[in-house]
């Protein structure tokens, strides 16, 4: 019990620190004020809330019992659904952003502007909140036999919620990225003979950003697919999946909120520069908002 609390506590701290770096970088440095980065900001906020709210609630839920445990179970499950669905909807929005940036670059600035991005973010959070609250109210129960917090006792609700909230968006995102990567390969071949260095540089940066964000999506799917598959299969198998295995899959999903900042730092040189300036305290010594990040 104590080991579990320590592990969740450390994971919570890592999630908070990593995503605070991402959020601070995007808000502080003007170079990072772009439509794509605003979507990344929304994703980082969802990840941050996993560390700030969800994991502490999980720690509390394993140390109490009775009626309060049932209340915390429902609250934790509601937040879990909201933040997970919000993350995948933000990733869907990012895939749409990348589609226009790579496949229709001439229309990108007119189709994807700040107003459109704000609408995307608001829709993602609103739909997530409505789905999370509805599914939790209809589907959450506290297991009486083992005192575990069990989601989706209703089989049809489980399948509908998981297919619409996770697998369908995941399939759509995958199809979009396949289209994007195919188009990027065509563009690579078409500009090999061009003499316009600016065009080459811009296309190279867009392709790199797209591949990096595709990796973010891939990491998300790797972390969350085992949990959603097990949750969907569990009612069909009369709840034969061991509780510890479900919890392990849940922790794997939560760990995604910790991994995203590392992916940004590893693949984006400008995020690495921003992280270094923040961690070294330079942003508190001078106004570096207009600093050119490399």
Tell me how far CA of residue 113 lies from CA of 31, 98, 99, 105, 290, in angstroms. 16, 13, 14, 13, 21
293 within domain boundaries = no
Task: Supply the range of the domain harboring residue 241.
Answer: 2-284
Q: What is the pLDDT of residue 142?
A: 42
Judge contact between 178 and 99, C-beta under 8 A. no
- What's the domain count of the chain? 1
pLDDT band at 158, cuts 50/70/90?
low
pLDDT band at 141, cuts 50/70/90?
very low
Digit-coded pLDDT (tens) for 228-282: 888 888 777 777 888 888 888 988 998 999 998 888 878 888 899 999 999 999 9
Digit-coded pLDDT (tens) for 166-185: 888 889 888 888 888 888 77
210 within domain boundaries = yes
30 DSSP assignment? G
CATH code of 169's domain = 1.20.1070.10
226 within domain boundaries = yes
26 within domain boundaries = yes
15 within domain boundaries = yes
Q: Is the pLDDT of residue 145 over 60?
A: no
**Of 180, 198, 181, 200, nearest to 190 (Cα)?**
200
Q: Is the pLDDT of residue 44 over 70?
A: yes
- Helical H runs in 237-268? 243-267
Cα torsion 122, 22, 30, 177 to 10°: value is -60
Strand positions, DSSP E, the chain: 140-142, 149-151
291 within domain boundaries = no
Judge contact between 235 and 153, C-beta under 8 A. yes
Cα torsion 201, 207, 213, 218 to 10°: value is -150
Q: Percentage of the chain surpassing pLDDT 70?
A: 84
b/e map 109-128, b = 16+ CB within 10 Å: eeebeeebbeebbeebbeeb
Number of neighbours of residue 5 by Cβ within 10 angstroms: 14
pTM for the predicted model, two decimal places: 0.87
Q: Is the pLDDT of residue 130 over 80?
A: yes
Q: Is 292 helix (H, G, I), strand (E, B) or coil?
A: coil
Q: Is the pLDDT of residue 186 over 80?
A: no
Which residues have C-beta within 8 Å of that of residue 150, sequence separation ≥ 6? 140, 141, 142, 143, 239
Strand partners, 142: 149
Tell me how far CA of residue 240 lies from CA of 128, 231, 236, 243, in angstroms. 29, 11, 9, 9
Q: What is the pLDDT of residue 143?
A: 43
289 within domain boundaries = no
Residue 238 — left, alpha, or beta (φ > 0 → left; ψ -120 to 50 → alpha)?
A: left
228 within domain boundaries = yes
């Amino acid at each position: 019990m104590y080991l579990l609390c320590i592990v969740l506590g450390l994971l919570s701290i890592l999630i908070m620190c990593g995503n605070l770096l991402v959020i601070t970088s995007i808000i502080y440095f003007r170079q990072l004020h772009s439509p794509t980065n605003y979507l990344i900001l929304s994703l980082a906020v969802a990840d941050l809330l996993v560390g700030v709210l969800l994991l502490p609630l999980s720690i509390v839920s394993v140390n109490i019992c009775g009626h309060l445990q049932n209340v915390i179970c429902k609250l934790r499950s509601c937040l879990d659904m909201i933040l997970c669905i919000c993350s995948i909807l933000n990733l869907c929005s990012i895939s749409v952003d990348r589609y226009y940036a790579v496949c229709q670059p001439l229309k990108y600035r007119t189709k994807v502007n700040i107003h459109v991005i704000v609408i995307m973010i608001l829709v993602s959070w609103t739909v997530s909140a409505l789905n999370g609250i509805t599914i939790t109210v209809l589907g959450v129960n506290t297991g009486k036999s083992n005192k575990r917090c069990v989601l989706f006792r209703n089989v049809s609700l489980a399948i509908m919620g998981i297919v619409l909230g996770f697998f369908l968006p995941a399939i759509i995102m995958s199809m979009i990225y396949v289209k994007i990567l195919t188009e990027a390969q065509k563009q690579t071949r078409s500009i090999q003979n061009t003499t316009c260095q600016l065009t080459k540089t811009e296309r190279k940066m867009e392709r790199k950003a797209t591949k990096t964000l595709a990796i973010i999506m891939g990491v998300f799917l790797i972390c969350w697919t085992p949990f959603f598959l097990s949750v969907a299969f569990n009612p069909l198998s009369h709840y034969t999946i061991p509780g510890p295995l479900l919890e392990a899959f849940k922790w794997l999903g939560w760990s995604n909120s910790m991994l995203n900042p590392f992916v940004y730092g590893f693949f984006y040189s400008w995020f690495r520069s921003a992280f270094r300036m923040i961690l070294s305290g330079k942003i508190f010594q001078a106004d570096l908002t207009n600093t050119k990040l490399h």
